[in-house]
Amino acid sequence: MRRFLVKLGILDRRRDPHPEVDRHLARMHYGSDQSFKSRVQQFFFDNYYSSSLCIRIFNLFIKVIACLLYCVRVYQDSRDLPDFVYEEYKHKNYSADDFKWEYFWWVDRSFSLWLTQTIVAAISIAETFVIFYISYKGSVIRLLLTKEFLVECITSGVLLVTVFVPRWREVFVPIFLNSLLATSSLQGILNDFNRSVVFGQSALVRQIISLFSSLACLIFMGTCSIEHLQRAGNRKFDLFMSFYFCLVTLSTVGYGDLYPDTHPARLLVIAMILAAFLFLPSQIEALGQSLAERRQAGEDYMKTGNEVHVVVNVTHMTADFTDDFLNEFYAHPEHQEYIVVLLSPSEMDNKTRLLLKIPKWSSRVHYVRGSALKDEDLHRAKVHDAKACFILSARHVKEKNWIDERTILRSWAVKDFAPNVPQYIRVFCPETKMHIEHAEILICEDEFKYSLLANNCICPGISTFITLLMHTSRGKEGQKSNEPWHKVYGFHSGNEIYDILVGESKFFSEFVGKSFTYASFHAHRSGPSRRPTRNRQIADQTQSWPNSHHAIFGCGLLHGPGQRRIAPRL
């Protein structure tokens, strides 16, 4: 019930401001029974995520301590038998291939080490029984046959029995099997940690940890098993030699300098190799799939220092669209130090991937595959720290209304996630503007197109003129063409409009009081033609084609084309 309410957003995942809701849910879940078991269950229900994580961390700590104590026991082992065992087997003769079972069942363990191992075992098995007591539902037999319970009985239960049977205090106990439980606890910790934080860690990181923990468990168990089985043979292995042998064997190198000389040890090596061949390929394959998915999804953007970035969210990303946007954005000198984070749900095609590998873009453009409708993906792109967010749509779409609806949803999602980040949005239909009034800049493509067509009827060629002004060009387009007009058009596509106050100009100040025709004629003879388009003595009146009687005033503005130096800020 709690997980369902957390998923719906009714309860907060990390902390609940209304603890009475938890108590009410606990009563609904466990009833009004006030027994000890019900109270314990209610306590763990009220503190589900924190208690589960703490219990698993404590369980992992106990299992690691038990494994370390086993290594200490092996290091201190003098390979002497207890006195009553030695008296029984001292006259027995063995051949070279015989397995000495008395060295398998009995070990050298000091009293202090036995006491420490017993205390750790008591804590471990008590924790296991408490957890099973709380979570018990259904068949008891199924609970007793679980892997965790059986391993706990083998590793901890035998040590507790030796408290009442002192004669067995030096019997061998495979405490190294606790590494299996430690691996399971680590997996649970990763799952609980993923649920307890707002944004979970990467699945790739979890799989890498899982693979290395499983591999470490396999090597550790093989090392301890080989060491103990060879204790009953003629070739004695210590822990380091056993670790070296397992590593060489699993890596398929096999130098042959070390080898087991007992049949149980050889059978163990066969089982270990089979387990490695059956288990590791599936883990490596899953890791490879996660790496491929990570490569397709792009890495999370990691902001460093005072780095400034903008986020560009587009539904379908193509190489032409990306190249045009980056050229237009970085044409302005103030944008040279910005980082562009591309957030798109579509996978990059090969052409776009090659484009972003160009040195000009590789250090300034970061790709994140994700949706603006998911908070996790917005967090991956660091939208809340962005200088601005561009919400754009793909070109040449047919269903414009559907695209605008998606744009509205994306804009609202960004607004909810990062309300202080300015948004620059492009839509297609004019009726969409009323739903995105919070945008910093909102451009409607249809409105802009119709405005150009209307002004083109009044002043022919104005649409081409505006298009050239909005398009970043260096005047190099068409220079490789064989057509002369291609070269002329491409050269002049890099022009901009500049203005200057007549009275402040060293060149045009001599034409003050002269007619426009006179000024244009003599200015053209001396250099590029200029023409006055606005007179400050006439408020809000622009004269694009002044007649011959129009005089130039000192406070007039002269506009004229020139070679493009920087891209205009839109």
pLDDT at position 397: 72
Q: In the prediction, which pLDDT does 18 show?
A: 45
Give pLDDT, residue 409: 92
Q: Are 54 and 218 in contact (CB under 8 A)?
A: no
Q: How confident is the model at residue 525 (pLDDT cuts 50, 70, 90)?
A: low
Helix orientation angle between 111-135 and 36-46, rounded to the nearest 10 degrees: 90
Of the ranges 393-397, 425-429, 483-487, which is most confident? 425-429
What pLDDT does 39 receive?
64
CA distance 521 to 451: 34
pLDDT > 90 in the chain, percent: 11
Question: Does the pLDDT of residue 545 top 50, yes or no?
Answer: no
Percentage of the chain lying above the pLDDT 70 cut: 71
Q: Tell me the average pLDDT of the chain.
A: 76
pLDDT of residue 115: 92
How confident is the model at residue 423, as a pLDDT?
A: 93
> In which band, very low, low, confident or very high, does the pLDDT at 549 lie, cut at 50, 70 and 90?
low
Closest CA to 377 of 420, 424, 417: 417
179: CB partners within 8 A, 6+ apart = 63, 67, 216, 217, 220, 221
> How crowded is residue 39: how many other Cβ atoms within 10 Å of its Cβ?
13
The structure tokens 């002329």 sit at 488
- Statement: residue 389 has pLDDT above 90: yes
pLDDT, one tens digit per residue, over 315-365 is 888 888 888 888 888 888 888 889 999 998 888 888 888 888 888 888 889
pLDDT band at residue 45 using 50, 70 and 90 as cut-offs: low
**Parts of the chain belonging to CATH 3.40.50.720:** 307-458
Please determine, for residue 14, whether its predicted confidence score (pLDDT) is greater than 50: no
Average pLDDT over residues 464-470: 71
Q: Domain 307-458: which topology?
A: Rossmann fold (3.40.50)
pLDDT at 46: 54
For 3-71, strand residue ranges (E) read none
Q: Which of 33-47, 204-218, 455-469 has the lowest mean pLDDT?
A: 33-47
Asked if 164 contacts 119 with a C-beta cutoff of 8 angstroms, the reply is no
Task: Assign 7 a pLDDT band (cuts: 50, 70, 90).
Answer: very low
Closest among 430, 420, 418, 425 to 441, alpha carbons compared: 425
Taking 70 as the threshold, does the pLDDT of residue 6 lie above it? Answer: no
- Which amino acid appears at position 463 of this protein? S
Give the tens place of pLDDT for each residue, 148-181: 888 888 888 888 998 898 888 888 889 999 888 8
C-beta separation of 373 from 409 below 8 A: yes
495 neighbors 562 (Cβ within 8 angstroms): yes
Tokens describing residue 276 = 């490695």
pTM here is: 0.56
Each residue's pLDDT tens digit, 232-273:
888 888 889 899 988 888 887 877 788 888 888 888 889 888
pLDDT in tens, 185-225: 888 787 766 655 444 445 667 778 888 888 888 899 989 98
Q: Which two tokens stand for residue 368?
A: 């994140």
Q: Which residues of the chain are in CATH 1.10.287.70 domains?
A: 201-297
Contact 552, 534 (CB under 8 A): no
Q: Topology of 201-297 in CATH?
A: Helix Hairpins (1.10.287)
Section 362-382 average pLDDT: 87
Distance CA 462, CA 453 (A): 9
User: With contact defined as beta carbons under 8 Å apart, do 358 and 383 qualify?
Assistant: no
